[in-house]
């Protein structure tokens, strides 16, 4: 495990900080409200703080039968391998009984088929070759696929294979730290694209970074729908309210328990604060608002999260449950894949969680699939990415570490 200290701005306030904290390095790093008292009104005053951070990657184990057998799911549910030996499956899409997975590293989309309906795919076929392909969506009989800079569409044939992809967009921003675009179509019949930030925390030179974009299905009329979103991979519309919800990745290097992952109701024109404001309205000392804008002024125009989750869990795919297999209480709740931490002294994430909605609003999280962390928190056998509801109502999710797609069913 490696320990790092992050410094921001000048240390000209050090005598004042030491007088209050006792020590500069360790005195107040866990006090969430302390540093806010020293946030300046203008750029004429310096800002300083120091945060302790860690780098810890659990060792990787194979997805053996013994490891899978100790996975935990709620009573009445079972889990099995739907498919394995898949390379590095990322985003999942279930459509007309077929299951599709993107493999960004290989630059392919694969189709998985369970023709005998036994809960395991016996067919695997590459149906598209697109460099760095990641996000997948279906709209009006076409498969839409997004890479770092491009969006493609291809006809879906009767057997589930794809026709020749046609490029619709070729000028999305470059990837930087977050190149994993995702795509979906809303109730308004518009294309929505997520474009993450190029960095952990910085002013972006391209206004389309750290946003969700909206365009026509042919890729035209592209505009920023919402901004200040560091990296929103999983998003979707609530089946009853049609409100758009997404989970955003928190900033790294703010300590073990900051920044928490955010659940946002995403509205047109809203600013969600990154990189200047995070969490429940906290100031990020690493970056000042630009120009004459103060932290307080930026906070006033920031839309704060509806719910938060453990920092560094790394939320990825998200899917609302609209199937008929699970008990009725699961209807219209969301499942989220938590990929897992690296910037924390002990690992968190590495699980599937259920986000409960009441009256159309998220209220809490429960664990749904756990047990991927093994060997006394020193190893793992799955970093989870994609989530999809299969035609039969089972839940599918992908692990791009061991090349597995898992299936959770209920009897």
pLDDT of residue 11: 30
What whole-number distance in Å separates Cα of residue 15 and Cα of residue 21?
10
Domains and CATH numbers, the chain: 1-55 (no CATH), 56-410 (2.120.10.30)
pLDDT of residue 33: 45
Segment 117-162, tens digit of pLDDT? 999 999 999 999 999 999 999 999 999 999 999 999 999 999 999 9
pLDDT of residue 286: 79
Is 60 exceeded by the pLDDT of residue 94?
Answer: yes
Rounded to an integer, the average pLDDT of 245-251 is: 97
3-state secondary structure of 296: helix
Is 80 exceeded by the pLDDT of residue 229?
Answer: yes
3-state secondary structure of 259: coil
pLDDT of residue 25: 30
Segment 263-292, tens digit of pLDDT? 999 999 999 999 999 999 999 987 889 888
More confident residue, 280 or 36: 280
More confident residue, 193 or 9: 193
Rounded to an integer, the average pLDDT of 244-273 is: 97
Segment 301-321, tens digit of pLDDT? 999 999 999 999 999 999 999
pLDDT of residue 291: 86
Rounded to an integer, the average pLDDT of 44-50 is: 65
Is 70 exceeded by the pLDDT of residue 357?
Answer: yes
What residues does 364 pair with on adjacent strands?
Answer: 356
pLDDT of residue 36: 47
What whole-number distance in Å separates Cα of residue 147 and Cα of residue 297?
36
Segment 107-119, tens digit of pLDDT? 999 999 999 999 9
* Summary mean pLDDT of the chain: 90
Q: Are 368 and 47 in contact (CB under 8 A)?
A: no
Banded pLDDT at 85 (limits 50, 70, 90): very high
Q: Which residues of 214-234 are buried (b: 16+ CB within 10 A; e: fewer)?
A: bbeeebeebeebbbbbbbbbb
pLDDT of residue 288: 85
What whole-number distance in Å separates Cα of residue 107 and Cα of residue 151?
14
pLDDT of residue 41: 58
Banded pLDDT at 4 (limits 50, 70, 90): low
pLDDT of residue 2: 58
């Amino acid at each position: 495990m490696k320990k790092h200290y992050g410094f921001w701005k000048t240390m000209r306030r050090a005598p004042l900080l030491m007088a209050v904290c006792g020590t500069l390095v360790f005195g107040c790093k866990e006090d969430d409200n302390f540093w806010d008292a020293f946030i300046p009104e203008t750029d004429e005053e310096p800002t300083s703080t120091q945060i302790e951070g860690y780098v810890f990657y659990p060792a990787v184990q194979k997805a053996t039968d013994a490891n899978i057998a100790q996975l935990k799911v709620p009573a009445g549910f079972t889990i099995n391998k739907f498919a394995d030996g898949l390379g590095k499956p990322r985003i999942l899409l279930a459509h007309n009984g077929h299951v599709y997975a993107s493999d960004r590293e290989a630059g392919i989309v694969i189709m998985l088929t369970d023709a005998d309906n036994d809960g395991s795919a016996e067919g695997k076929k590459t149906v598209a070759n697109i460099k760095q392909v990641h996000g997948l969506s279906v709209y009006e009989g076409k498969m839409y696929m997004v890479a770092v800079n491009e969006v493609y569409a291809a006809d879906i044939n009767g057997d589930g294979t794809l026709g020749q992809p046609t490029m619709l967009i070729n000028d999305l921003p470059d990837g930087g730290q977050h190149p994993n675009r995702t795509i979906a179509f809303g109730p308004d019949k518009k294309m929505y694209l997520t474009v993450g930030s190029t960095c952990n925390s910085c002013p972006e030179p391209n206004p389309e970074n750290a946003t969700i974009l909206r365009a026509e299905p042919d890729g035209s009329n592209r505009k920023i729908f919402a901004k200040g979103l560091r990296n929103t991979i999983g998003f979707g519309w609530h089946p009853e309210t049609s409100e758009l919800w997404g989970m955003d990745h928190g900033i790294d290097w703010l300590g073990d328990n900051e920044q928490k992952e955010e659940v946002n109701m995403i509205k047109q024109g809203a600013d969600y604060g990154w990189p200047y404001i995070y969490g429940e309205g906290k100031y990020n000392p690493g970056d000042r608002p630009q120009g004459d804008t103060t932290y307080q002024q930026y906070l006033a125009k920031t839309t704060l999260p509806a719910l938060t989750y453990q920092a560094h869990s790394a939320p990825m795919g998200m899917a609302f449950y609209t199937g008929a297999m699970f008990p009725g209480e699961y209807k219209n709740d969301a499942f989220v894949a938590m990929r897992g931490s690296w910037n924390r002294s002990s690992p968190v994430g590495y699980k599937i969680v259920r986000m409960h909605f009441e009256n159309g609003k998220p209220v809490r999280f429960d664990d749904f699939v756990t047990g991927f962390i093994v060997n006394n928190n020193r190893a793992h056998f799955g970093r989870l990415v994609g989530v999809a509801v299969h035609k039969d109502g089972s839940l599918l999710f992908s692990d791009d570490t061991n090349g597995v797609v898992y299936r959770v069913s209920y009897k």
